[in-house]
Amino acid sequence: MAKRIEVSGLTAYYGTHKAIEDITLHVEPRSVTAFIGPSGCGKSTFLRTLNRMHEVTPGGRVEGKVMLDDEDLYGPGVDPVSVRRTVGMVFQRPNPFPTMSIYDNVAAGLKLNGVSYRKSELDDIVEKNLRAANLWNEVKDRLGKPGSGLSGGQQQRLCIARATAVEPEVLLMDEPCSALDPISTLAIEDLIDKLKSQYTIVIVTHNMQQAARVSDRTAFFNLAAIGQPGKLIEVDSTDRIFSNPSVQATEDYISGRFG
């Protein structure tokens, strides 16, 4: 488990609009990499190219290369469905399946692609992942109740449990705490810290303190002007980015002088 991501020369479009241009970076396994940058610079777009979710958007198109260890995600004959299985995703707004119970939400990914598990196996996996998501104690007595009945923070942890239950190699998180209160945010940050021993984690955040707290490496994205494609400005260890970045724009952004 946990693979290294190597992106080279990646450009993504929405129809004719070029959203991000020529991005080259790598993401280390068993570590947390944070994406920061002003709104509209293409962080979400870039994140979604890493599990081939970008092409789900009408008009979405990608050029360039994404390697997961030695597998080319955009290679000919690669099935996007299996890519998404390997590269899990947690969204900005908690989105548990409203028609399913808490239990079924966690088990949802396991029932896909014609795989079938015994009930006892499923029970174990559900418990293990809810525990890992620090949610087990809060929901163990109501596993049969709908997931939409939980609080926002609990729902987000449920979504993380759902994503980890299929044992992906990589976990992508797009502003997972932006809809949550500070307590739930801390709970999720603890969780991320715990998960990084097993997964390659990429997290998009607008919260500088959060990036500083949870990530090992930080990538700063920016765009020259509105309507211009977003670009990677620099990527380095988080300590370095927050203490002594090599590009002036990064320092300006971090110290809140723009963006």
Partner 1 sequence: MPATNKNTTTRLGDRVFSTLSKGSGIALLVIMAAIALFLAIRAVVAIREDEGNFLTTFQWDANADPPVFGIAVLLFGTVVSSVIAMALAVPVAVGIALFISHFAPRRLATTIGYVVDLLAAVPSIIYGLWGALYLVPHMTGLFLWLDQFFGWTKVLAYDGTPARSLMTVGILLAIMVLPIITSVTREVFLQTPKANQEAALALGATRWEVIRMTVLPFGRSGVISASMLGLGRALGETMAVATVLSPSFLIDPSLLESGGGTFAQNIASQFKEAGGTGRDALIASGLVLFVLTLLVNGAARLIIARRREYSGANA
> Which positions lie near ligand ATP, rule CB under 6 A?
14, 17, 19, 37, 39-45, 57
The answer for residues whose C-beta is within 8 angstroms of residue 12's C-beta and 6 or more apart is 18, 19, 20, 42, 45, 46, 49, 54, 60, 61, 62, 63
5-14/17-27 β-pairing = antiparallel
Reference 165, options 102, 74, 72; nearest CA is 102
Query: What DSSP assignment string belongs to 116-154?
Result: ---HHHHHHHHHHHHHHTT-HHHHTT-TTSBGGGS-HHH
Reference 42, options 219, 211, 256, 254; nearest CA is 219
88 forms part of the interface with partner 1 (CB under 8 A): yes
Among 17, 131, 140, 145, binds partner 1 (CB under 8 A): 145
Scanning 38-46, 108-116, 145-153, 222-230 for contacts with Mg ion by CB under 5 A, the matching segment is 38-46
Among 8, 99, 209, 244, binds partner 1 (CB under 8 A): 99
Q: Is 18 helix (H, G, I), strand (E, B) or coil?
A: strand
Fill in the amino acid letter for 142.
R
- If contact means CB under 5 to 8 A according to the sort of partner, which of partner 1, Mg ion, ligand ATP, none does residue 93 touch? partner 1
Q: What is the CA radius of gyration of the chain?
A: 18
Nearest approach in angstroms of CB 229 to ligand ATP is 8
Q: Is 59 helix (H, G, I), strand (E, B) or coil?
A: coil
Closest residue to bound Mg ion by CB: 44
Residue 64 or 146 having the CB closest to partner 1: 146
- If contact means CB under 5 to 8 A according to the sort of partner, which of ligand ATP, partner 1, Mg ion, none does residue 17 touch? ligand ATP
154 forms part of the interface with partner 1 (CB under 8 A): no
Q: What string marks each residue from 193 to 232 as x (binds partner 1 by CB under 8 A) or -?
A: ----------------------------------------
Interface positions with partner 1 (CB under 8 A): 51, 53, 56, 81-82, 84-86, 88-89, 91, 93, 95-101, 108-109, 112-113, 145-146, 148-149, 159, 162-163, 166
